């Protein structure tokens, strides 16, 4: 079964042709993102907070300080909404009305659970690290016992999920194509600039394999 069930919570109603419910599409969008925006209800109000995350199989992991308000709140098993958005371009149509954006977004509805098992916790942190920059984990000083205690990891179990994608050129009203107005797409993407070594770097330390590989992607 490769699709998430469609229900009232996740069905894309506006522009339904942009909605996707299959795991490969949803997971590809999630796996390309480094941050997500998590929504929860706190003291009867919605709160949205950005955070790093990673997916492993059908779960997502987030982490933070054991003292974090977000994490303390979330581990109560409250419902959460998690959103990831990639901006792929501005879509310039011939009419103001048909201007749009190219994007790929995913909205997850689920619940967060405290990861209590030490092995799962270490594995989740490794997974988040590898997501951000592959190979880095093995190059650095691993977490101490004290650092592990200061870190909380939550596992997000997905209940429903949907992706929404817009791509391609503008879609104008048929009669607008005859107007003498330029139309097209201004494509956008996340760009990685040249690595900046820490000014306090010890002499004689070369750029590591993880960084070189990161830029070869």
- Tell how far CA 85 is from the center of its chain: 7
Q: Show the tokens assigned to 80.
A: 């959460």
Which x/- pattern, by CB under 8 A, does the window 87-106 give for a copy of itself?
Answer: x-xx-xxxxxx-x-x-x-x-
Assess contact for 19 and 7: CB atoms under 8 A.
no
CB of 22 to a copy of itself, least distance (A): 20
State yes or no: residue 75 binds a copy of itself (CB under 8 A): no
Annotate 78-90 with DSSP letters as a single string: -EEEEEEEEEEEE
Contacts (Cβ under 8 Å, ≥6 apart) of 46: 39, 40
Site for a copy of itself in 171-190 (CB under 8 A): 176-190
State yes or no: residue 119 binds a copy of itself (CB under 8 A): no
Q: What's the rounded Cα separation, in Å, for the pair 117 and 123?
A: 10
State yes or no: residue 140 binds a copy of itself (CB under 8 A): yes
Q: Which helix (H) or strand (E) holds 209?
A: helix 209-216
Give 2 or 33: the residue with its C-beta nearer to a copy of itself.
33
Segment contacting a copy of itself by CB under 8 A, of 22-30, 54-62, 113-121, 168-176: 168-176
State yes or no: residue 21 binds a copy of itself (CB under 8 A): no
State yes or no: residue 213 binds a copy of itself (CB under 8 A): no
State yes or no: residue 37 binds a copy of itself (CB under 8 A): yes
State yes or no: residue 199 binds a copy of itself (CB under 8 A): yes
Give 17 or 45: the residue with its C-beta nearer to a copy of itself.
45
Give 1 or 51: the residue with its C-beta nearer to a copy of itself.
51
Contacts (Cβ under 8 Å, ≥6 apart) of 109: 9, 10, 79, 80, 81, 158, 159, 160, 161
């Amino acid at each position: 079964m490769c699709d998430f069930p469609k229900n009232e919570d996740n069905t894309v109603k506006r522009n339904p042709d942009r909605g996707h419910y299959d795991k490969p599409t949803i997971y590809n969008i999630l796996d390309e993102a480094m941050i997500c925006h998590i929504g929860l209800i706190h003291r009867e109000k919605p709160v949205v907070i950005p955070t790093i995350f990673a997916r492993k199989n059908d779960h997502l992991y987030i982490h933070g300080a054991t003292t974090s308000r977000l994490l303390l709140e979330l581990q109560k098993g409250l419902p959460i909404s998690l959103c990831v958005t990639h901006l792929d371009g501005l879509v310039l149509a011939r009419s103001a009305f048909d201007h749009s954006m190219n994007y790929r977004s995913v909205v997850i509805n689920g619940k967060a659970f405290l990861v209590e098992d030490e092995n799962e916790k270490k594995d989740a942190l490794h997974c988040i690290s590898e997501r951000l920059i592959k190979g880095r984990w093995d190059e650095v000083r691993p977490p101490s016992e004290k650092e592990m205690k200061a870190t909380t990891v939550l596992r997000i179990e997905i209940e429903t999920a949907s992706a929404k994608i817009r791509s391609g050129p503008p879609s104008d009203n048929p009669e607008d194509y005859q107007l003498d107005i330029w139309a097209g797409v201004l494509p956008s993407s996340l760009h990685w600039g040249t690595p900046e070594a820490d000014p306090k770097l010890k002499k004689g330390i070369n750029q590591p394999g993880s960084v070189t590989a990161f830029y070869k992607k």
